[in-house]
């Protein structure tokens, strides 16, 4: 006897719809490795319909005064709180995430971020009006860019959806959002929440649309003639493809891509405290985080002590079922990701040493043990490339100059951290590290008021903060003659 799979659907112009050609793909729970739902595999007709709906709704949504858009976002935030348990259940099934951690670590910041952007809608920035030429007054208008094609990743499906739709809607844009093909469930639920709020407050249904599908669906969205902007959170390869596709008609592009965060630990740090925090920041969400603390550079005088303490912390870190409140993280998201993480371990050079973990856990699902690898060199594959799994690497450096050289010696530049009691050193490193974020004696906290985004192959554009809001606006200069 087989269990019927739940049927997920696109959300286009206020209606839930199957793909126009009826194609679907199975959605797998990574904790069990078994399918639990089907989702549309959307094609050109579905993308056309969603873009048409967003385009039709744009003039009305754009012309609302900011206070009206704020009301909508505040109501959406309230509804997220009211339906939190549904969101938690959907995300846990989506990703295999521990229920308790989704409840404590994802719902509150998501709600806060929506409310932040609700306020940002009413705080448009621009230079003061003035006379910069005799007889003329200049003013600056900040306007929405138009329809936004947005593609969210599978590591934080709900939260990354919020990071995309909240600033876009607050600024007056309309949205067509595609979740990852492996994690559509929570995004479809978000569509139901936002759609109900738009209906309740009498706003156009096409303001927010969700189209499920695979990479081809995403390509169709980015290359479509309607969107003025494409935003993606994903791999470097995906980001490059989006940038290339968008360049054909000069769409604005917003990219948040991979990371390989250096964690620079000096000999004067509190080792026990640093290890505790770094292990949490490295293994949280199974290391499937672009900012994860997975590349540790530790001063040689404390290297052995640090590695021993980190290996012990790894052995005490649990992964497991979604209803186990003692686990820090659940499975890797999909079979391909599990194979990728295994591949990094299998290809380790002879000089590397696995201090803890290094193997799959259990006989079902995609669980991988908390892992520590030492003895690595700067040009090793596992140091240079993003693993995106619960694997922390350790290198030993001699002095500050070498630490900075190695920290910056990768193609990614999203996040980093420095661990030291020396304030001057911390200030020097915060300047020298070529990363979009530098944490000092901590790693991974984010707040709605501060920007998140990187340099180099980690992409460009900012999420969160007023800078993230500004990315979804355009600037217009208006000059008027004072000669009546």
Q: Which residue has the tokens 């056309």?
A: 48
User: 106, 290, 386, 437: which is the annotated catalytic residue?
Assistant: 290
How far, in Å, are 42, 145, 157, 164, 461 from residue 50 at the CA level?
11, 17, 20, 17, 25
State the Cα–Cα distance between residues 413 and 97, nearest whole angstrom. Answer: 27
CA distance 467 to 258: 20
**Is the sign of the CA dihedral 209, 210, 211, 215 positive or negative?**
positive
The CA distance from 280 to 295, in Å, is 13
In the chain, % helix, strand, coil (3-state, to 5) comes to 40, 25, 35
Q: What is the C-alpha separation between 443 and 416, in angstroms, rounded?
A: 8
The rounded distance, in Å, linking the Cα atoms of 173 and 229 is: 10
How far is Cα 129 from Cα 136, in angstroms, rounded to an integer?
A: 11
| E strand or H helix that includes residue 111 | helix 107-120
Instruction: Give φ, ψ of 88 to 5 degrees.
Output: -60, -45
Q: CB–CB of 291/256 below 8 Å?
A: no
Taking the C-alpha atoms of residue 466 and residue 73, their distance in angstroms, rounded to an integer, is: 16
Q: Quickly list DSSP for 23-47.
A: -EEEEEETTTTEEEEEEE---HHHH
Question: Per residue in 116-125, is it b (16+ CB within 10 Å) or e — as a string?
Answer: bbbbbbeebe
- Packed helices 423-432 and 400-408: angle between N→C axes, nearest 10 degrees: 30
Separation CA 272–CA 313 (nearest Å): 10
Closest CA to 96 of 157, 5, 25, 165: 157
> Which residues, in sequence order, are CB contacts of 82 under 8 Å at separation 6+?
none
Catalytic residue status for 290: yes
Q: Which residue has the tokens 């490295």?
A: 282
Count Cβ atoms below 10 Å from residue 333 Cβ, excluding itself: 27
Which among 256, 355, 386, 437 is annotated as catalytic?
256
Asked if 449 is an active-site residue, the reply is no
Instruction: Give whole-number Cα distances, 457 to 153, 274, 340, 443, in Å.
Output: 17, 28, 20, 21
Q: Which residues are catalytic, by number?
A: 256, 290
């Amino acid at each position: 006897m087989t269990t019927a799979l739940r049927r997920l659907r696109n959300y286009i112009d206020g209606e839930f719809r199957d793909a126009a050609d009826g194609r679907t793909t199975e959605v797998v729970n990574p904790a069990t490795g078994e399918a639990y739902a089907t989702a549309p595999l959307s094609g050109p007709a579905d993308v056309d319909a969603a873009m048409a709906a967003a385009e039709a709704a744009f003039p009305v949504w754009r012309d609302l005064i900011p206070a009206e858009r704020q009301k909508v976002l505040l109501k959406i935030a309230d509804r997220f709180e009211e339906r939190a348990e549904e969101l938690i259940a959907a995300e846990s099934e989506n990703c295999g995430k521990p229920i308790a951690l989704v409840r404590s670590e994802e719902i509150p910041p998501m709600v806060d971020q929506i409310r932040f952007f609700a306020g940002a809608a009413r705080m448009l920035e621009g230079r003061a009006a003035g006379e910069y030429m005799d007889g003329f007054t200049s003013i600056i208008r900040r306007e929405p860019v138009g329809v936004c094609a947005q593609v969210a990743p599978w590591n934080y499906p709900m939260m990354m959806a919020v990071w995309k739709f909240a600033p876009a809607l607050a600024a007056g844009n309309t949205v067509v959002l595609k979740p990852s093909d492996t994690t559509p469930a929570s995004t479809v639920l978000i569509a139901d929440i936002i759609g109900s709020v738009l209906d309740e407050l009498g706003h156009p249904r096409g303001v927010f649309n969700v189209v499920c599908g695979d990479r081809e669906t995403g390509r169709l969205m980015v290359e479509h003639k309607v969107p003025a902007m494409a935003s993606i959170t994903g791999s470097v390869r995906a980001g490059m493809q989006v940038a290339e596709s968008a360049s054909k008609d000069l769409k604005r592009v917003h990219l948040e891509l991979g990371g390989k965060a250096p964690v620079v630990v000096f000999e004067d740090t509190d080792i026990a405290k640093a290890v505790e925090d770094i292990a949490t920041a490295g293994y949280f969400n199974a290391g499937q985080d672009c900012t994860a603390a997975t590349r540790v550079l530790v001063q040689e005088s404390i290297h052995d002590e640090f590695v021993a303490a980190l290996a012990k912390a790894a052995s005490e870190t649990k992964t497991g079922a979604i209803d186990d409140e003692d686990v820090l993280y659940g499975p890797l998201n999909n079979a391909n990701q599990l194979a990728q993480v295994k591949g990094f371990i299998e290809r380790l050079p002879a000089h590397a040493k696995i201090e803890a973990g290094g193997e799959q856990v259990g006989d079902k699902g995609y669980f991988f043990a908390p892992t520590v690898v030492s003895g690595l060199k700067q040009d090793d594959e596992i140091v240079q490339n993003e693993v995106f799994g619960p694997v922390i690497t350790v290198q030993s450096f001699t002095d500050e100059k070498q630490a900075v050289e190695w920290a910056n010696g990768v193609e990614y530049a999203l996040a980093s951290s420095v661990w030291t009691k020396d304030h001057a050193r911390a200030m020097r490193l915060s300047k020298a590290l070529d990363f979009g974020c530098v944490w000092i004696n901590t790693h991974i906290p984010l707040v709605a008021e501060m920007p998140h985004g990187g340099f180099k192959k980690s992409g460009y554009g900012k999420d969160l903060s007023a800078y993230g809001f500004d990315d979804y606006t355009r600037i217009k200069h208006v000059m008027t003659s004072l000669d009546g």
